[in-house]
Amino acid sequence: MTAFVTSLHPSPESLAALVNNVPNDTAVTMLNLLRFREFSSYKPGATDAGATGQTGREAYATYSRHVMPLLAGVGGKPVWVGDAYCSVIAPTGESWDEVLLVQYPNKGAFLKMIQSPEYLAIVHHRTAALADSRLVATVASR
């Protein structure tokens, strides 16, 4: 089985690549691949952590409820969500639970949202929910 590096947050290098490589002033659709933890994993002392025994999927639902107004505030919107059943072309052992497409009016809107104090105050729900994730910035072909 292939060893995978888990990724939950963008690195400074990946954000720089977004800024430098994604065209300005064009809609950006973020492909989210999500693998949920069996049980959420909040840091000790989190005052708004989910209930004991909450699943990762339930913690992600909490994150989603909080992020929706922030997403709308920058002109973004979810465009598709679905359960992932199996990876047909992927490294052996790679699997995902959910696929989500979120569209932003441009890369600046995405960056504005994820750097806002409001987002930083809720992202711990996402972290507690996910065992692994991928986020791929896409732009429609011309």
Residues 6+ apart with CB under 8 A from 120: none
Over the stretch 10-35, which tens digit does the pLDDT of each residue have? Answer: 888 999 999 999 999 999 999 999 99
| Cα angle 91-10-92, degrees, rounded to a multiple of 5 | 5
Cα–Cα distance list, 48 to 45, 61, 68, 99 (Å): 9, 14, 18, 26
Per-residue model confidence (pLDDT) at position 107: 97
For residue 122, pLDDT beyond 60: yes
Over the stretch 54-101, which tens digit does the pLDDT of each residue have? Answer: 999 999 999 999 999 999 999 999 999 999 999 999 999 899 999 999
Could you give the domains of the chain?
25-45+52-138 (3.30.70.100)
